[in-house]
Structure 1
Amino acid sequence: MNIITYEDANNLPLPAYVIQSLRDRAELAHIRHLEALTYIILNYPSGPKNIHPVCVATDGETYNLYAHTSVLLNDDTDAYSFTDLIIQTLRNYETLIKYINAELNHYEELMDRGITKENIRHLFSINRQLIQYQTAINAIGDVTAYIRDQKPSHLWSDENASEYANIRIEINQLDQNIEMYQQIIESIVSVSDSLFSNKLNITMKRLTSITLVLSIPTLITSFYGMNIDLPFQDHPYSLAIVFVISTLLTIATVAYLYRKDFF
């Protein structure tokens, strides 16, 4: 496979449609037959932030790979066949998905301490990345499915039938992994919300218990602040009696609430 790198796609001797596809970094995999050549666009990932479309142009005998200079290709890419390039593309997506798995493991460890709004925002960003990867991978699957079904002579042969079968298996596995990680993200957010709600309920329960305990001496002393006849008001130790009663009722309330796990 001949590798042709470029900095400006407009300078390539390619049809305008292909040049436009190479300039669009969000372009998905597809195949077109133009001017006696077949052009296959692949969205090639060479890093989490470096996903760029590449183009394979072939007449059945010669394969030219057009890639932007920012695309990091393997050293032995020039020895690749077309199916080798697809498999390497899928493996690169697999590597990106492994990066996401490592990030999710980090967030699973954070769940006990609580997920912040910034964490939630980042998790949604990760989910969006997974959707983009899944869309790109499924587009590659559509291209290879077309080749398997139509069996164009310059792309298909009985010798590479097993390679296309491996590509289909790889795509299915990646698709399942992405769906699994999306479910993990949903679980992390759901469990985090449950943990936060549980902690909030415990805090509110404790605050309510404290308020109830403090209201007992407040209620008793408020009665003795009124200008009416009250028990023990003429007793020489009335203050001590009121204090002891308030203390005993408070201790009894605290003991009761403690047994009911309100503290």
Structure 2
Amino acid sequence: MLSIYKYDDTVGKIKSQDKIEAGVWINAVAPTTAELTKLIKKARVPEDFLLYGLDPDEGARYEYDEDVDAHLLIFDMPVASINDKKRVVYKTVPLAIIITATALITIDREPQPLLALFAEGKVANFNPKMKNKAALIMMYRATAAYLTYLRDINKNRENLENKLQSNLRNEDLYALMGVQRGLVYFMMSLRTDRNVLEQLQRNNPLRLNEDDQDLLDDILIENQQGTEMAQISNSIISETSDTYSSIISNNMNGVMKFLTSYSIILTIPTLVFSFYGMNVELPLAGMHVSWIITIIISLIIAVLLGYQFWKKKYF
């Protein structure tokens, strides 16, 4: 589906339209073959740029096609979804931003909530006529979204840690592992996004003016902040996981020590009764109260052994 938007100076925000013309923003979501052909012919988009934008595994990068004077910016952005177990799953998806002489084009396989904010006119100073600035604003919003999700991840992590302190449940450990997986995705994507931003800053292939370069600097600052937040959260989860692994191991050792000690103590009466159950002559075996004597002997040995175990803190 192709959604075309143009900035309306009278109302000060973008409005949708059907015609592709200069200064428009085209948001292509899972475009058909006919729509791809339309973009190639009317918006002068290189075919390979469209294929790159529809590849879900495409990494963040910058590319320029000098034949048609088109720029491709693939920028990873964070998304959140709910899985089958009703847990929030964080990951990143590539957003392809194509700048041509005619239009600003974004292309993706699925609708993205971030782009919906632009389509609804909820993003200030977004004007597709100023294609470079509009593309930078999109990247700024995508980078700022990392910080929002990272704050949510930290809250989720703290809640899981509080639950695990009172009860070590496998379900909470799996949830903590899922949070860490999301952080790994964020760190990798932030790193590749930074490479793209530094390339734009170093070579200035978009020929950015001073204001746009200031905006690019702001994006780099947000990216650095997001990277540091993700690294700190990941380190905390790694240390927390190691701590809980040690706790689980210590608890298991304590249980095994307890069961082993009691098994040894309970073995004593069996040994004593076995001796007096033999068909051989033993001291005190001929007395009428010999069964009481065997019980007393068993209890004395068991108590002494239990006392030694208690002194050594086996239980």
Report the counterpart of residue 162 of structure 1 in structure 2.
214
Report the counterpart of residue 292 of structure 2 in structure 1.
240
Root-mean-square deviation over aligned CA pairs: 2.7
State percent identity of aligned pairs: 22
Q: Which runs of 4+ in 1 moved over 6 A?
A: none
Q: Distance in 1 between matches of 2:154 and 2:29?
A: 33
Equivalent residue for 2:72, pick from 39, 63, 86: 39
In the superposition, relative to structure 1, how do residues 50 and 78 fare at CA in structure 2: closer, same or farther (>3 Å)?
A: farther
Q: Distance in 1 between matches of 2:47 and 2:210?
A: 34
Structure 1: runs of 5+ lacking an equivalent: none
- Could you say which structure has the higher strand fraction? 2
Report the counterpart of residue 190 of structure 2 in structure 1.
137
| C-alpha deviation, 1:125, in angstroms | 4.3
Q: Distance in 1 between matches of 2:161 and 2:144?
A: 25
Instruction: Kindly indicate whether residue 254 of structure 2 is the aligned counterpart of residue 230 of structure 1.
Output: no
In the superposition, relative to structure 1, how do residues 86 and 50 fare at CA in structure 2: closer, same or farther (>3 Å)?
A: closer
- Could you say which structure has the higher helix fraction? 1
Instruction: Kindly indicate whether residue 180 of structure 2 is the aligned counterpart of residue 149 of structure 1.
Output: no
Alignment map for 1:167-178 (pairs within 5 Å): 167-178=219-230
Report the counterpart of residue 30 of structure 2 in structure 1.
8
Aligned residue identity for 2:112:
V
| C-alpha deviation, 1:123, in angstroms | 4.5
Q: TM (normalized to structure 2)?
A: 0.72
Instruction: Kindly indicate whether residue 103 of structure 2 is the aligned counterpart of residue 70 of structure 1.
Output: no
Q: TM (normalized to structure 1)?
A: 0.84
Matched pairs, number:
259
Q: Distance in 2 between matches of 1:41 and 1:96?
A: 20
Report the counterpart of residue 79 of structure 1 in structure 2.
125
Instruction: Kindly indicate whether residue 79 of structure 2 is the aligned counterpart of residue 57 of structure 1.
Output: no
Q: Distance in 2 between matches of 1:237 and 1:20?
A: 95
Aligned residue identity for 2:72:
Y
Q: Is the 8 A contact 1:3 1:67 kept in 2?
A: no
Task: Please list the CA deviations of residues 182-230 of structure 1 after superposition, one character each: whole Å capped at 9, or x if unmatched.
Answer: 2233223322221111111111111111111111211111111112221
Report the counterpart of residue 14 of structure 2 in structure 1.
none
Structure 2: runs of 5+ lacking an equivalent: 1-6, 8-23, 40-44, 81-89, 127-132
Greater alpha carbon shift after TM alignment, 119-128 vs 100-109: 119-128
Counterpart of 1:103 in 2: which secondary structure? helix
